[in-house]
């Protein structure tokens, strides 16, 4: 089983190892310089004794624990037995420590140094024995033990502080993890909590923004599927029914005129599906993005769409009035065609008897349907494209748009000039 590394554990171990190593090194340095300081102090004292006293061969000078002699053999026998040979270098402290450790003091210490007084060589020796003069005795714990205990206490204090700091840092991270893990649609709409540190707040903001983007994308996909699955059923049913009918007419040898009527119904259903699919895909995939601008002749476009959609007036008593000009606008041609197709289709579809008047001047278009008897004008626009969806398409370019219900119908007006130019 693979062990997954933990950032918290990694940082904790790295800091502990670094801190403990630093404390141990500094403690070792303190111990070293403590011993070096004692040696330096003793060396100065022994040098001073060797310079001040008058000695002669066979007549060493004894002062407390110090012995000054002009010859090696005049030094105490115990010193010569421990040191074995006389020192060769001047002013160098030679020592032998017997017994003791970092906690308990040594049993004895033997020190000897070779000095020069004028042209005379002298040997200075001293012996410290714990059992006799108590030179290594002091009130309180030994210095070595104090240094060791200080190092241990320093390590413990460092570890405690580090754990507390890590806890203070990791708690907001834990909160961020739990918050991100429990994010849902409702929580994405609520204000982001404060995670104490600016870096964590920035990370939380990035997480929330990313999830909001994914949520919006998912909502658009669901909306697309909802519209498509619901609204494509009718044209699909029309195509399947008329395909079966066409097959029967072919088998029965029906006239070409009847077969052409069936093919025309299939073709109209296919056109309807194409318009609907194109509209939904553009809104779903290109929302918030601009389409390329082209030269659009709104007048000819409207007349062509009216001709293409006249099948919606079959069997109805409708008068169609179209008043357009030949101006050219810089507009997204595909979007203009989709919007005008839906608006004209809506007017034809919801007028059973009456008139439909379409007027275009430059970039402004108005569509008015007057009904002697009309369908419910609150129904969805076009073939399943509801008022909300058509409004979203128009809102993409901030085009002024009105959809007003009148006593006998509805008036729709749109001005394409808001984000376009004319010439």
Same domain, 70 and 121: yes
Q: Please tell me the predicted confidence (pLDDT) of residue 211.
A: 83
Pairing of strands 351-361, 120-129: unpaired
Look-up of token digits 């590394």: 5
Q: Please tell me the predicted confidence (pLDDT) of residue 328.
A: 92
d(CA 125, CA 111): 6
Q: Please tell me the predicted confidence (pLDDT) of residue 420.
A: 41
Q: Please tell me the predicted confidence (pLDDT) of residue 292.
A: 76
34 found inside a domain: yes
Q: Please tell me the predicted confidence (pLDDT) of residue 289.
A: 58
d(CA 92, CA 113): 6
Q: Please tell me the predicted confidence (pLDDT) of residue 418.
A: 56
Pairing of strands 401-406, 66-69: unpaired
Residue of 61, 50, 55 lying closest to 114 (CA atoms): 50
Q: Please tell me the predicted confidence (pLDDT) of residue 384.
A: 43
Residue of 153, 161, 152, 162 lying closest to 11 (CA atoms): 162
Q: Please tell me the predicted confidence (pLDDT) of residue 377.
A: 42
Domain count, the chain: 3
3-class DSSP state of 402: strand
160 found inside a domain: no
Q: Which residues pair with 414 in a beta bridge?
A: 365, 401
193 found inside a domain: yes
Domain range for 332: 291-422
Same domain, 133 and 203: no
Same domain, 82 and 206: no
- Beta strands in 108-253, from DSSP E residues, in sequence order: 108-117, 120-129
Q: What is the CATH number of the domain that holds 414?
A: 3.30.565.10
CA distances (Å), origin 322, targets 215, 365, 410, 411: 44, 11, 16, 15
Which residues in the chain land under pLDDT 50? Answer: 1, 135-136, 374-385, 420-423
Q: Please tell me the predicted confidence (pLDDT) of residue 380.
A: 39
Look-up of token digits 């390329």: 292
**Which are the contacts of 2, defined by CB distance < 8 A and separation ≥ 6?**
none
Measured in degrees and rounded to the nearest 5, phi and psi for residue 59 equal -130, 75
Same domain, 142 and 191: no
244 found inside a domain: no
Look-up of token digits 């008047």: 357
Distance of CA 18 to the CA centre of its chain: 29
């Amino acid at each position: 089983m693979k062990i997954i590394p933990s950032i918290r554990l990694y940082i904790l171990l790295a800091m502990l190892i670094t801190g403990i190593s630093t404390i141990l090194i500094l403690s070792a340095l303190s111990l070293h310089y403590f011993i070096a300081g004692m040696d330096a102090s003793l060396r100065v004292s022994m040098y001073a004794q060797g310079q001040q006293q008058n000695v002669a061969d066979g007549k060493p000078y004894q002062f407390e624990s110090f012995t000054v002699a002009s010859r090696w053999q005049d030094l105490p026998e115990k010193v010569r037995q421990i040191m074995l040979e006389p020192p060769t270098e001047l002013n160098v402290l030679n020592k032998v420590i017997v017994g003791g450790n970092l906690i308990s003091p040594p049993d004895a210490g033997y020190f000897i140094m070779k000095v020069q007084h004028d042209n005379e060589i002298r040997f200075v020796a001293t012996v410290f024995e714990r059992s006799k003069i108590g030179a290594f005795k002091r009130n309180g714990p030994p210095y070595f033990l104090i240094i060791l205990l200080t190092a241990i206490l320093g390590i413990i204090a460092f570890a405690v502080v580090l754990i507390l700091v890590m806890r203070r840092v990791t708690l907001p991270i834990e909160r961020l993890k739990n918050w991100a893990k429990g994010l849902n649609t409702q929580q994405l709409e609520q204000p982001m909590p404060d995670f104490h540190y600016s870096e964590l707040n920035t990370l939380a903001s990035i997480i929330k923004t990313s999830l909001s983007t994914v949520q919006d994308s998912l909502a658009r996909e669901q909306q697309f599927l909802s519209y498509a699955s619901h609204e494509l059923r009718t044209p699909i049913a029309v195509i399947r029914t008329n395909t079966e009918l066409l097959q029967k007419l072919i088998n029965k040898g029906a006239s070409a005129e009847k077969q052409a009527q069936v093919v025309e119904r299939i073709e109209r259903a296919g056109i309807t599906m194409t318009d609907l699919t194109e509209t939904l895909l553009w809104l779903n995939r290109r929302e918030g993005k601009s389409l390329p601008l082209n030269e659009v002749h709104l007048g000819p476009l409207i007349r062509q769409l009216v001709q293409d959609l006249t099948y919606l007036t079959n069997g109805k008593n409708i008068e169609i009035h179209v008043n357009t000009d030949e101006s050219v606008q810089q507009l997204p041609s595909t979007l203009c065609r989709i919007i005008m197709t839906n608006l004209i289709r809506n007017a034809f579809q919801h007028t059973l008897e009456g008139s439909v008047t379409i007027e275009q001047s430059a970039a402004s278009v108005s569509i008015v349907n007057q009904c002697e008897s009309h369908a419910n004008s609150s129904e969805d626009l076009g073939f399943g494209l509801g008022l909300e969806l058509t409004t979203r398409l128009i809102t993409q370019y901030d085009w002024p748009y009105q959809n007003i219900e009148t006593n006998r119908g509805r008036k729709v007006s749109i001005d394409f000039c808001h984000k376009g130019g004319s010439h």
